[in-house]
Structure 1
Amino acid sequence: MRLTRYLLALFLGLGLCAGPGLADTPGVGLKPDLRLLVDISGSMKTSDPDNLREPAIELIVRLLPEGSKAGIWVFGEDVRELVPHGVVDSAWRERAREAVPQIDNSGQRTNIPAAITAATYDLERLDPGYRTSIVLLTDGKVDVAESPMVNASSARRLLSATAPNLGATGIAVHTIALSNEADWPFLRALARSTSGIAEKAESPQALSSIFVQALEMVAPTARVPLSDSGFAIDDSVSEFTLLVFFGGARNRLELVDPDGARYSANSSDVDWYQNQQFALVTVASPSAGNWRVKAPDSASLRVNVISDLKLDVDPLPNSLPAGRQTELGLRLTEQGQVLTDAEVLAAFDLSVVITGPGGKQLSIPVSREYALPADGEYRIVIPPFDAPGRYQVVAQLQAQSLQRELPMYVEVVAPPEQPTLVTRGQEPPEDDFQAPLLWLGGVLALLLLAIWLHLRRRKRRKLEIWEKRARQLASNDSEPLEGVSADQ
């Protein structure tokens, strides 16, 4: 029996279809709101000579979830709204695909503060049903004027005033440095002060995969696991999207459905987008069963799915200090409502797998270690991350033929060293000042000896002078003066 039919029968049997077993939870599972800022300064001619920003942004436009919000701004010395900020639907995607080819290198400066101000035009009236994030791509540093002092002051003001305000509002700024000329300390500080993640793109070819990871942080999307270049689609899936990064290999790709039918770039019954870096294949109303992918061995694959039955999470903070414990909110939803019936929840096996920067894994068997929640909301304790670095947290769901994975990423930052106030000097060892004292005593002794010799010489010279004068007086034969006597 298919899982969806099993669940439907269970709902009907328990009388839950009208809603008693489904919790109407408005506000649960905020939709993503992505503001994308793209540098078009003249230096991009060197940093991105083939303009690979265009296909990378095209990929994001196609992957953004339906019903989310998004907008794209380009900036140099000025800021221009390339794609108006609004709800993502077919009309928005069409406008975006038409506008993306306009990305160029016509800017003269790099006005990052103005770009962030433009992207947060509605800061005082943010929609509470959305989780707002900014992704900033640049190859330079804050450059708003000829004066280095003006530029430094503008960057400092952004970090000291604007960024903390965005962080307090819950708007994370994820920064991507495209060249070694980018101001990495500034971009990293901007991301960390807003609980965002900073990333370096070693080459323009890496932009697409970095953008996808940024999108997974902004809008975690369920996918099905792959095994031996194959994946299982259950009958609850209404659509799946296969994303393939070729990694420099020949971009040959073929998709085979459970009945053996083959699909390629020339197939008319699938939405197939492909370039030298990646391919994006979307299949609507797919057949249930095992699908196979024929791609180069070096290719990286992932399959996102859309289904009425969803694994919904309250995402972890994108950035955490080392040693801090946190919680992950996790729930199952059917057509937007949270499943609360214990018998239904018991049919699923839930777990959370954490992979650290060194590859070490920790698995949390949620279904075994946590009681079935009455409100359908699992609150999973995530242990403290001790080592700094990038962690992947994957929520996994399995039941019969149904399998889901929901990847998230957390950047763990080492806490800054706290300065220690010392009120008493460290007592040096006795041997440390014996030698200086001996040296000082020797110098004083020599000085006293020199003074004594000098005084002794002066005294001897005076005696010699007086003896000489006395001899001169004794040998003087002149007569005494007349009219003068001793008696008088």
Structure 2
Amino acid sequence: MRFFGILATVVALAISGVVSAEDNKQPDVRIVIDISGSMKDTDPENLRRPALNLLTELLPDGARAGVWTFGRYVNMLVPLETVDAQWRTKAKKAAGDINSVGLNTNLVGALDKALWQATADSSFDQTVILLTDGRIDMDGSQGNPGSPPNAAERQRLMKEILPRYTGAGVRIHTLALSDAADETMLQQIAMETDGLFLKAHTADELMPAFLKAFDRAVPAEQVPMENNRFSIDPSVKEFTALIFRKSSATPTVLISPSGERIGQEVSVDNENVRWHHDLNFDLVTIKNPEQGEWSAEADLDPENRVQILSDLKLSVKGLPGSLFSGVPVELEMALVNEGETVNEPTILQLTDVSLQVTAPDGRTGSKLLSDPESLPVDGVFREVLSRLTQPGEYRLEVNAIGRTFQRRQVLTATLAEPLRVESEADADTQTFSVRVYSDSDMVDTTLSRVIARVTSPDGSSVINSMEFDTADNAWKLDLQGEKGDGQYEVMLNIRGVSGSGMTFKSKPETMVVEFPIPAAGGDTQIDTPAVAGESHEALQPVSEPAEESVEEVPVPPEPVAPPPPSSEPIAPDLAEKYADESTELPEEEEEGIPWWVYAILVVANLGLIGGLAWWWLSRRKAAGGDAEDASKPEPVATSVPDLDVGPLDDADLDEGDFDDFADEAEEEIPAASDEEDSRVPASMGGDTMMPSAQEDDFDLGDEAADDEWGEFDLPDEEDKK
């Protein structure tokens, strides 16, 4: 029986394969575009127009969408209405009116207007996509935050506008075009509303950034596209192929499984084909497509993609738009058919579900989540990412591949926090200083709190709430080696509160310092963002070992050609090892082996043979009497002594307002070997690493979340003081 036939039968007859309804809210997307005069420089080719056309074509029928532009004034360019053919026509016509003539940057006013008809009880999933290259500028001061009009608008943003967004459940995805944009403010706006912050350094990066924001606003069902080839299964009612085109490229052509060539001219007479040709891309929608493998004659581009309309979807939940260092991300992935989650074992056993994470620096890690021997009862595959610490964009790709279908979801999230950590090791004062600063005036420093745990060389720990210094506008900790020489570790937990009342938590990477601090490593300023994923090895100055003399190896009588000299010196420890071994070898003269050596060898061999014969005869004699006992297998000890890992002593919990960090250690997940695979089935989300063309170099983290965050508020006794 065909696999998809099994799927359709199981779902249609509702035979123990369906649980929990999926949220079927239609998307509500409001696009807000900057048309201030500075956009002439940051977007000279006015790529905002084709970018808007792209989103217009990708929006599904039945969604709701509108477009606003802003300079000094705010204009509703395209009314907020239901998306259909008529709305798309109006939107593409209005895109031609996008320009760069605005005198100011009324960003707050634009966000205010874009909230029109947004409510907490809306039947739509509401999102705003904001594109700007500047900062709040209401008086021609080039965005000076200290000018009274700009400061007033900034206050209105935090105290009035953003609370209305969070109250209505509307996310804001912010796109910063160029380095002139107020990145700190745009990051804060996204973080406040669980949105995504993106940056396009050039106008050429604008289109991919728009696509990432669109994928978060409208999670589009896709099928994998490799080398411009993709497969369409019988459940697909419609697909839309996005093909990016270079200026010198030949016209794009799609080739069906039967060999039919479909070009732009075909769309004129074929009602099942809709073709949108723009400045640098083609967008082709085909209804009732032929099943099988399709291909595209076009340039290969990583942004090429195929979006489909099908009752069979891949649901991915749990990825916020804004990530925080050390805070686990709990993902849930499932196949959904006609709004219901599929948990039929017959289907899941034949489906490979995998996850790939790409870090901001390009490192990737993959994991095969599905295991036929250990299927999720409810059909939901779960995975926890607990090691996301590097600032920047994370790309998550989830694939579900069955015998006759493929589904794909690609989502982006950004790790960027409004607090940063700076540390300095001073050899003169033998002090290790830690400072936590706020990069944004949107953080309420009176409500925010930074707590530090310091672990000494003797293993004891002390937890303290870091004091906020209003003069330096920073939380401070000065550490000296009071517990003796050796290695000290400083772990921070941060609870930040924004001006609008939104709370965020993070746990930056642990800092390590060695006391006494040597002069060679002193006075070195280390700027480490609160989410920095870089190593703190600079905080661990280690003195270089002294050069050691290497004894010459005795030269044997017969000359031997020495190996060519190495260009790199031998490490001192290795040189010492080899020198010691060489001096232990006495010089030997070449001479024949004495006769008595042969005699000793003969006697030793005869003794060995006799011993083996005696042992074999003894075993045979004992075998008869012990036959009955031998048939009973000996018990195998299976118990493992418990490890008593108690909490920290009460004396160590000085403030009493923070968790005891008992579970802060994060255990590495090793790749399962072939022998392990044959003995122990990989659990869902477990150790089995998905094979890939190149070796994975990014650890996806533990299955379980890190330690609980605990209570941040000070005890009542402290509050009364």
Aligning the two structures, in what range does the TM-score lie when normalised by the shorter sequence? 0.7 to 0.9
Quote the Cα distance in structure 2 between the aligned partners of 1:337 and 1:314: 15
**Equivalences for residues 176-191 of structure 1 within 5 A:** 176-191=175-190
Contact 1:352 1:396 in 2 (8 A): yes
* Percent of residue pairs identical: 34
Quote the Cα distance in structure 2 between the aligned partners of 1:353 and 1:81: 40
Quote the Cα distance in structure 2 between the aligned partners of 1:187 and 1:370: 46
* Shift in CA distance, 307/360, structure 1 to aligned 2, threshold 3 Å: same
Contact 2:103 2:140 in 1 (8 A): no
Matching residue of 2:691: none
* Shift in CA distance, 130/138, structure 1 to aligned 2, threshold 3 Å: same
* Shift in CA distance, 357/182, structure 1 to aligned 2, threshold 3 Å: closer
Secondary structure of 2:371's partner? helix
Contact 1:249 1:299 in 2 (8 A): no
**Equivalences for residues 440-479 of structure 1 within 5 A:** none
Matching residue of 2:337: 334
* Shift in CA distance, 104/263, structure 1 to aligned 2, threshold 3 Å: same
**Equivalences for residues 235-274 of structure 1 within 5 A:** 235-246=234-245, 249-250=248-249, 252-268=251-267, 269=270, 270-274=273-277
Q: CA deviation at 1:72?
A: 1.1
Matching residue of 1:94: 89
Paired residue total: 423
TM-score between the two structures when normalised by the length of structure 2: 0.54
Matching residue of 1:3: 3
Task: Letter of the 2:265 partner, please give it.
Answer: N
Task: Letter of the 1:145 partner, please give it.
Answer: D
* Shift in CA distance, 293/123, structure 1 to aligned 2, threshold 3 Å: closer
Given the alignment, which residue of 127, 134, 139 partners 1:133? 127
Task: Letter of the 1:117 partner, please give it.
Answer: D
Q: Are 1:215 and 2:214 counterparts?
A: yes
Matching residue of 1:76: 71
Quote the Cα distance in structure 2 between the aligned partners of 1:425 and 1:286: 67
Name the stretch that deviates more: 117-126 or 307-316: 117-126
Matching residue of 2:45: 50
Q: CA deviation at 1:209?
A: 1.9
**Equivalences for residues 134-153 of structure 1 within 5 A:** 134-145=128-139, 148-153=147-152
Question: Which structure is higher in RCO with an 8 Å CA cutoff and minimum separation 6?
Answer: 1
Quote the Cα distance in structure 2 between the aligned partners of 1:285 and 1:146: 54
Name the stretch that deviates more: 256-265 or 192-201: 192-201
Q: Are 1:292 and 2:292 counterparts?
A: no
- Measured against aligned partners, the alpha-carbon deviations of 1:428-469 in whole angstroms (never above 9, x if no partner) come to 99xxxxxxxxxxxxxxxxxxxxxxxxxxxxxxxxxxxxxxxx
- Measured against aligned partners, the alpha-carbon deviations of 1:338-393 in whole angstroms (never above 9, x if no partner) come to 32433333332222222222333333322229954444444432333132221111
Secondary structure of 1:215's partner? helix
Task: Letter of the 1:258 partner, please give it.
Answer: P
Contact 1:246 1:299 in 2 (8 A): no
Q: CA deviation at 1:24?
A: 5.9
* Shift in CA distance, 293/423, structure 1 to aligned 2, threshold 3 Å: closer
Quote the Cα distance in structure 2 between the aligned partners of 1:401 and 1:423: 59
* Shift in CA distance, 111/363, structure 1 to aligned 2, threshold 3 Å: same
Contact 1:230 1:290 in 2 (8 A): yes
Task: Letter of the 2:340 partner, please give it.
Answer: Q
Write 1 or 2 for the structure with the bigger share of helix: 1
Secondary structure of 1:211's partner? helix
* Shift in CA distance, 2/20, structure 1 to aligned 2, threshold 3 Å: closer
**Equivalences for residues 50-449 of structure 1 within 5 A:** 50-127=45-122, 129-145=123-139, 148-159=147-158, 161-163=160-162, 166-167=165-166, 170-246=169-245, 249-250=248-249, 252-268=251-267, 269=270, 270-297=273-300, 300-368=303-371, 371-413=374-416, 416-417=420-421, 418=436, 420-421=466-467
Task: Letter of the 1:190 partner, please give it.
Answer: I
Quote the Cα distance in structure 2 between the aligned partners of 1:182 and 1:284: 41
Q: CA deviation at 1:134?
A: 1.4
Q: CA deviation at 1:316?
A: 0.7
Quote the Cα distance in structure 1 between the aligned partners of 2:334 and 2:301: 35
* Shift in CA distance, 2/257, structure 1 to aligned 2, threshold 3 Å: farther
Larger radius of gyration between Structure 1 and Structure 2: 1
Name the stretch that deviates more: 74-83 or 363-372: 363-372
TM-score between the two structures when normalised by the length of structure 1: 0.78
Name the stretch that deviates more: 417-426 or 78-87: 417-426
Quote the Cα distance in structure 2 between the aligned partners of 1:36 and 1:397: 31
Matching residue of 2:31: 36
* Shift in CA distance, 379/358, structure 1 to aligned 2, threshold 3 Å: same
Contact 2:359 2:394 in 1 (8 A): yes
Name the stretch that deviates more: 354-363 or 414-423: 414-423
Task: Letter of the 1:77 partner, please give it.
Answer: R
Quote the Cα distance in structure 2 between the aligned partners of 1:277 and 1:86: 28
Contact 2:120 2:168 in 1 (8 A): no
Task: Letter of the 1:7 partner, please give it.
Answer: L
Contact 2:187 2:416 in 1 (8 A): no
Quote the Cα distance in structure 2 between the aligned partners of 1:306 and 1:8: 16
* Shift in CA distance, 63/124, structure 1 to aligned 2, threshold 3 Å: closer
* Shift in CA distance, 187/125, structure 1 to aligned 2, threshold 3 Å: closer
Task: Letter of the 1:43 partner, please give it.
Answer: S
Task: Letter of the 1:208 partner, please give it.
Answer: M
* Shift in CA distance, 69/157, structure 1 to aligned 2, threshold 3 Å: same
* Shift in CA distance, 8/140, structure 1 to aligned 2, threshold 3 Å: closer
Contact 1:246 1:300 in 2 (8 A): no
Quote the Cα distance in structure 2 between the aligned partners of 1:423 and 1:416: 14
Contact 1:29 1:313 in 2 (8 A): no
Secondary structure of 1:405's partner? strand
Quote the Cα distance in structure 1 between the aligned partners of 2:176 and 2:478: 46
Name the stretch that deviates more: 252-261 or 156-165: 156-165
Quote the Cα distance in structure 1 between the aligned partners of 2:392 and 2:182: 20
Q: CA deviation at 1:141?
A: 1.6
Q: CA deviation at 1:161?
A: 5.0
Unaligned runs of 5+ in 1: 430-488
* Shift in CA distance, 394/161, structure 1 to aligned 2, threshold 3 Å: same
Contact 2:108 2:153 in 1 (8 A): yes
Task: Letter of the 1:139 partner, please give it.
Answer: D
Quote the Cα distance in structure 1 between the aligned partners of 2:70 and 2:84: 25
Quote the Cα distance in structure 1 between the aligned partners of 2:174 and 2:61: 24
- Measured against aligned partners, the alpha-carbon deviations of 1:159-208 in whole angstroms (never above 9, x if no partner) come to 45533553465433222222343333322332233332332323333322
Contact 2:244 2:299 in 1 (8 A): no
Task: Letter of the 2:6 partner, please give it.
Answer: Y
* Shift in CA distance, 194/9, structure 1 to aligned 2, threshold 3 Å: closer
**Over the residues paired in the alignment, what is the CA RMSD in angstroms?**
3.0
* Shift in CA distance, 119/18, structure 1 to aligned 2, threshold 3 Å: same
Q: CA deviation at 1:309?
A: 1.0
Contact 1:37 1:137 in 2 (8 A): yes
Contact 2:129 2:173 in 1 (8 A): yes
Q: CA deviation at 1:210?
A: 1.4
Quote the Cα distance in structure 1 between the aligned partners of 2:34 and 2:373: 47
